[in-house]
Structure 1
Amino acid sequence: MSGHTRGKRSAVTCALKCDSACAKPAPNTSDNGYFRDIAGKALSRRHALGLAGAGAVALAVGSSGLAAAAGPVQAGLAAGRGTAGRTILPFKAITPVASTEDTFVVPQGYTWDPIIRWGDPILPGGVPFDVNSQTAEKQALAWGYNNDYTDVIVTNKAGTKALLCCNNEYVNPNIMFPPGLDATEQLKIAMAAHGFGIVELERSAPGEKWTYVPSAPKNRRITASTPFKLTGPAAGSDLLKTAADPTGTVALGTIGNCSGGTTPWGTILSGEENFNGYFHATGTSAEEKRYGLADKPSTYGWEAIEPRFDARSADYANEPNRFGYIVEIDPTDPTSMPKKHTSMGRLKHEGANVIVADNGHVVAYMGDDERFDYLYKFVSKGRYNPTDRRRNLTLLDEGDLYVARFHGDSPASEIDGTGTLPSDGQFDGYGQWIPLVKNGRSQIAGMSVEQVLVYTRLAADKAGATKMDRCEDVQPSPKTGKVYVACTNNSQRGTTGKAPADEPNPRNTNRDGHIVEITEDDGDHTSRVFRWNLVIVAGDPAVNGATYFAGYPKDKVSPISCPDNLAFDSEGNLWISTDGAPSSIQKLDGLFKVPLAGPERGHVQQFLAVPRDAETCGPVIHDRDGSVFVAVQHPGEEGTWEAPNSYFPDYVEGTAAEGDFRGPRPAVVQVRKA
């Protein structure tokens, strides 16, 4: 990635995390165009719903068909500006911090503490972390590396006990291991440092600092070798069978886990994202190419110790097909087998977030984090029952799978790739959820249900989905039901041979990203049609005029770039973590708050900044408790063992000979009112 990165994004991070995806051709080579509305062609809602099921048929939707669905998208904006009113978690926005600083910054009146770090022992038999005495056995009993999705689930009425749930996305051997550590042992440690972790927390009283409890009964580590049950229509398919698993029903391990979600029945969902870099494949078939699988050694070289990661072998040609799913883990039962849900499709899942529709069906929204890939929705076959957890644990096993097609309502001449607002003052329009699987049947000609669910990207290509600028986290608001999509960036938008700017992705060479706001028709999350608008077109307004903050004055917002993970507080405000920082001014990544309603809608305010080279992940907002949690991923990524780039979170600049770790340890942090 050297020479390709912009802003503060590290080429090392690109190589280790996503196999330098942006340095390679985008896997989506379909000719899906952008479906612009036909002026003067108005369709009824019933007609729109009928055409929504027409597979790859292009649809023209007029401006009157769904006009009532979204409501006043900028209600209150004309009422004037000013400082925010009373809020549960007040703060003064911090000043952006230079990207060369190795510091963790919080607002005045707040303090921060690491709850748990890479290598901290959590299971019986675990020992205190010693960087010079690492083994795979020790790592399997300890907290993993590079947390992303995070949740803190309070488990007692007094508010003094909780479960901390986090995934472990990837590792960086260059700064983890001292010189001389056996190469094979490094591979085994790396495998054990992937996956997922659950630990019990305790504190003296609400509002106080959480600490983790070593060897607690519910503590758990899930690694790249843990058995997972494959569920759904593709389970047992020939596409999922290998020599080690001729049944195609049990996959070993989870890798590349990025964001996720917590279900209403208390389980954790996580997305297997950049799994392709873990395999040496043939790279010859259309299916392999569409998922970025190639004929080259894997990123970490695990095929040297486990044959299943060499997909060139006939015995393990299907092993990559067993990754790329939404996984579900029950944090309350450390003996339960986690699941991989084929019903939710196979792609580079950023995560999945669930909301219960008014009719009881569970709806999960999901993004495929690749340039020019798509936005998806899953609707469960069964209905949620708050008194039947056992049944709820099966809700994601079966259901309907959809992909999104967007339509803008502005003339083509007004969407010129510069990010200039069209004459109606918004980037907005309508959309449809195009079915891929419906009522247990494939909706894609020439593809079986199993093929649709294992090669979901190819099915979505055929359905004519809209190419997006890297859909990462997708979060329904628990307060309003609106759905928010973080499109992180796409520097290839509008370049030679690539899809041009369109209304839902209005900037060419989009390095700063944007956020889409979706309102399902009639507020029904099982609907097949929706309205949408861009609530934020990100960037630094001081150097880039092509930014937009829901109409809020640009000179009063914190600069923000590359939105990644999303969260909500109890008041309905959106919190945004970033991965890339303002590309034009070289600032540390951070966590930002933005109101979504009233006169403060669009007022982006930076709450914290994470250290040098780091990405802000997994925000959790417990505003009524005075706490915010983030996972600090890949701090000091550009450094080496001999020359660390960061000493986060303990900032001890010792030497290996003195027993101090010469480098950073990814950690989960609690920020609270001082």
Structure 2
Amino acid sequence: MKLKPLALFVTHDGKSSRASITCQYKCGNACSHEVPNTSGGEYFGDIVRSAMSRRGLLKSGAVAVLAVGAGGALVACSDDSGSGSAGGSTTAAAGGGEAPAGTAFTAVAPNTEDAVVVPEGYEQAVVIRWGDPVLPGAPAFDFANQTPQAQEMQFGFNNDFAGLLPVEGQPNTYLLVVNHEYTTEPFMFTGYDPANPTVEQFQTAIAAHGLSVVQVKGEAGTGRLTPEFGPNNRRITANTQFLVTGPAAGSNLLKTTADPTGTRVTGTLNNCSGGVTPWGTVLSGEENFNQYFANADQVTDPTVAARLKRYGIEGGASERKWERFDPRFDLVQEPNEANRFGYVVEVNPWDPASTPIKHTAMGRFKHEAATIYVTDDGTVVAYSGDDERFDYMYKFVSARKMMPGNGQSSMRHNLTILDAGTLYVAKLTGDEPDQIDGSGKLPSAGRFAGKGQWIPLLRTGEDGKAESLVDGMSAEEVAVFTRLAGDKVGATKMDRPEDFEPNPKTGKVYVALTNNTKRGEEGKPAADEPNPRNNNKNGQVLEIEDEHAGTGFTWNLLLVCGDPAAADTYFGGFDKTQVSPISCPDNLAFDPHGNLWISTDGNALKSNDGLFSVVLDGDRRGETKQFLTVPKGGETCGPIIGESRVMVCVQHPGELDGASADKPASHWPDGGTSQPRPSVVAAWKSGGGRVGV
């Protein structure tokens, strides 16, 4: 079929469609505040280009290792029992001929429906919703009568990352592990007064954060999943105890009244995306934690105040007013509490009694996620982006090797892998920097491309002792104030680096750069080759050919997103008249065929957010097709792409300005006059069969 760009996508006069109330509760209105990174580090055009070592660079198709991320977990271990044969019908590709395997579906048109819309010949259904029971004894969800005790046993609010782990010995049975990023109280409670929340609303919101672990059972012949009470079902909340490991454990920077040892933290906050490790645990990134802390304007120590500001912590009362009920959210009373959030969290979903871990060796910033690549000698490489305008891309290379197997001894060992190794930050250079003028015009080579270097910041030894590799900062300071370390070494300022995903088939690494409308403003960094547009409303996707355990890489932009009819977009060189419009890439995943899938957040093209497939190789490289859209006001998160099903998390459905629980703008997923509920959704081919084949 031939996709025709809609007329409404031709102009670029809008910004992200995310509602202001979503910004208010999701990220603390980050876009309306001053950019936290005011460092005077080297800008792209000032970097001296040097020849980067390419020794050991992995070539496409030469990777014989396991790479697992949000989508890689399914590539590596999905069995999709009862999914039917591979003989399903195929759909002609946009440019004629057969679509590559995994992308043979009829693209969904942009829309503003209050529904999940899937391609012709596909079905979809909710797997689990906010308030559904997770633990035995949980009461049925009652929107009008919520309690903290019930929420602690029920599925949390605003699901983001999702991981699906097969249960050994039980065909078509999985553990579904889901993050609950944030709460939007005006959509949780009728009659909510933002100036005067109640203690019960506070406690319910605390319980609605964190993660859920729930067993799900597949249905033979379809992709439907049904929750059930399994022995590993668990709720982790903002009241759950976490163990701190790595160089900051026991530091004076982490000690509080409640935890004078600096080794135990109560809760996890704003858990955004994540990743599934090859050893069977789940990593979760603590992102916009800054918004939960109050009274930064009363902090008088100039060093502490500067550090808080660099992390976007400023002002008086917090939006949720949690400081009224718990002193840990008041920086005057507990100045170190904010230092205890912003880490990669690791959860062992196979042991509901285990204590989750916060890994300080991987640095502290607004972790969108953390995803794993394992080299052929067992070295673990963890990639993570700092989701802030003009912030940085990082990777952690382990000193320890992964131990294969799923026994207790290997799990104990592998749970320590992310505590010893080297933390790096990225610096990029372009091949044709003089041709970048901020318009998005392609350089003469016909693509945006260049080289890069990983700059070491922190090295943590096998004995737990750490060495700072940044002048003027101690090891503890680098671990806790990693953004300042990146500033000092002149890392490249990116356009909101969010999800990283290594491709299990090729070893190439992909990064979603969501947007940055501050790019090119007076006093802010101008466009550069990896971030080629000023006033960047639609974002781009970066492709990296990395040395993984080494320090060199090459890069190119796979996509420069937006309306394909606009001059400032690029789809890997593919014919732009044959692709779906895409805006604000957020989460990434891979299907079993090696195609990239992208979910979006804040579509600036006046359409609902969605999920897209992208061909990476061959003469259709860059072909982008929309597979589904989520309901109005919602965000597409946590994609999982398997043989027989596609899964997404639908976050904040119905969150539109002017709407609230008293005046709902959406009634998805239950219909009628019901309140909208964040939910996990599965989609599959009618009658069974392989997705996109």
Pick aligned residue for 2:567 from 538, 545, 554:
545
Alignment of 1:304-315 (within 5 A): 304-313=324-333
Q: CA deviation at 1:33?
A: 2.9
Match for 1:368 among 379, 386, 396?
Answer: 386
- When normalised by structure 2's length, the TM-score is 0.87
Match of 2:202 among 170, 184, 187: 187
Residues in 2 aligned to 1:227 and 1:567: alpha-carbon distance in whole angstroms: 30
Tell me if the contact between 2:420 and 2:459 (Cα under 8 Å) persists in the aligned partners.
Answer: no
Give 1:526-545 correspondences, 5 Å limit. 526-542=549-565, 544-545=566-567
Alignment of 1:417-566 (within 5 A): 417-438=438-459, 440-520=466-546, 524-542=547-565, 544-566=566-588
Give the Cα–Cα distance (whole angstroms) in 1 for the partners of residues 504 and 213 of structure 2: 24
Residue by residue over 1:496-544, the C-alpha shift from the partner in whole angstroms, topping out at 9 and shown as x without a partner, is 1000000010000000000010001xxx3111010000000000122x2
Structure 1 residues 88 and 555, CA, compared in 2 at 3 Å: closer, same or farther? closer
Count of residues paired in the alignment: 622
Change (3 A) 1:35 1:88: closer
1:89-128 residue pairs with structure 2 within 5 A? 90-98=104-112, 101-128=113-140
Equivalent of 1:211, from 223, 226, 247?
226
Provide the alpha-carbon RMSD of the alignment: 1.9
Paired position in structure 1 for 2:40: 31
**C-alpha contact 2:103 2:613 (8 A) present in aligned 1:** no
- With over 3 angstroms needed to count, the CA separation of the structure-2 counterparts of 1:114 and 1:225, relative to structure 1, is same
Letter in 1 for 2:35: A
Gaps of 5+ in 2: 1-12, 62-93, 300-304, 461-465, 687-693
How far apart, in 1, do the equivalents of 2:562 and 2:597 lie?
16
Kept in 2, the 8 Å contact 1:109–1:673? The answer is yes
Give the match for residue 41 of structure 1: none
Q: Secondary structure at the match of 1:303?
A: helix
Distance 1:518 1:89, change over 3 A: closer
Query: Residues 256-301 of structure 1: CA distance to partner in whole angstroms, max 9, x if unpaired?
Result: 1100000000000000000000001424521111001113111211
Check 1:252–1:68 CA distance in 2 against 1; reply closer, same or farther (3 A cut).
closer
CA spacing shift, 1:159–1:93, aligned 2, 3 Å: farther
Aligned to 1:229: 243
Pair 1:479–1:121, CA change in 2 (3 A): same
Alpha-carbon distance in structure 2 between the residues aligned to 1:140 and 1:615: 24
1:637 is the counterpart of 2:655: yes
Measure the CA separation in 2 of the matches of 1:84 and 1:300: 52
> Which residue of 2 is the match for residue 77 of structure 1?
none
- Aligned partner of 1:657 in structure 2 is none
Question: Is this contact kept in 2: 1:428–1:532, CA < 8 A?
Answer: yes
Contact 2:191 2:662 in 1 (8 A): no
Out of 612, 615, 628, the position equivalent to 1:608 is 628
Three-state SS of the structure 2 residue aligned to 1:404 is: strand
Structure 1 pair 381–280 and aligned structure 2 pair: CA distance change class (3 A): same
* 1:257 to 2:283 alignment: no
Q: Percent identity?
A: 52
Q: Which moved more, 1:423-432 or 1:84-93?
A: 84-93
Instruction: Classify 1:305/1:548 alpha carbon distance in 2 versus 1 (closer, same or farther; 3 Å).
Output: same
CA distance in 1, matches of 2:378, 2:48: 29
Amino acid at match of 2:325: I
Mapped partners of 1:358, 1:180: distance in 2: 54
- The Cα of 1:89 is off from its aligned counterpart by 6.1
Aligned to 1:353: 371
- Tell me if the contact between 2:60 and 2:508 (Cα under 8 Å) persists in the aligned partners: no
CA distance, structure 2, for counterparts of residue 368 and residue 60 of structure 1: 25
Give the distance between the partners of 1:68 and 1:61, measured in 2 at CA: 18
Structure 1 residues 336-395: Cα deviation after superposition (integer angstroms, max 9, x where no partner):
000000000000000100010123110000000000000000011100111322211110
Query: Partner amino acid for 2:385?
Result: G
Aligned CA distance change for structure 1 residues 148 and 438 (closer, same or farther; 3 Å): same
Q: Output the CA distance in 1 between the equivalents of 2:664 and 2:262.
A: 44
**Worse overlay, 107-116 or 26-35:** 26-35
Partner Cα separation in structure 1 for residue 175 and residue 649 of structure 2:
15
- 1:50 alignment counterpart: none
Contact 2:186 2:192 in 1 (8 A): no
The separation in 2 between residues aligned to 1:598 and 1:67, in whole angstroms, is 25
Change (3 A) 1:174 1:619: same
Give SS of 1:459's match: helix
Q: Do 1:5 and 1:11's aligned partners in 2 also have CA atoms closer than 8 Å? A: no
Residue 60 of structure 1 and its aligned partner are, at CA, apart by 2.1
What is the DSSP-based 3-state SS (H/G/I as helix, E as strand, rest coil) of the residue aligned with 1:346? coil
Whole-angstrom CA distance in 1 between matches of 2:97 and 2:359: 45
Aligned to 2:350: 332
CA offset digits 1:43-80 (Å, max 9, x no partner): xxxxxxxxxxxxxxx54224x8649958699xxxxxx9
Distance 1:72 1:421 in 2: 25
Instruction: Give how far 1:84 is off.
Output: 4.1
Distance 2:124 2:388 in 1: 33
SS at match of 2:35: coil
Match of 1:274 among 288, 296, 314: 288
Q: Distance in 1 between matches of 2:211 and 2:60?
A: 41
Q: Does the Cα contact within 8 Å between 1:34 and 1:406 map onto a contact in 2?
A: no
Alpha-carbon spacing, 1:385–1:491, altered in 2? closer, same or farther (3 Å): same
Correspondence list, 1:162-181, <5 A: 162-179=174-191
Determine if the alignment matches structure 1 residue 240 to structure 2 residue 269. no
**Matched residues in 2 for 1:536 and 1:197: separation?**
33
Moved more, 181-190 or 371-380: 181-190
Instruction: Look up the equivalent residue of 2:402 and give its one-letter code.
Output: Y
| Deviation sequence 1:86-112 (CA, Å, 0-9, x none) | 5256311111113xx312100011111
- Mapped partners of 1:331, 1:68: distance in 2: 35
Q: Against the structure 1 CA distance between its residues 369 and 180, is the aligned structure 2 distance closer, same or farther, given a 3 Å change threshold? A: closer
2:391 is paired with a residue of what secondary structure? coil
Cross-structure match for 2:82: none
Describe the SS at the equivalent of 1:238: coil
1:200 to 210, 215, 240: 215
Report if the CA contact (8 A) 1:34-1:407 is conserved: no
Question: What's 1:377 paired with?
Answer: 395
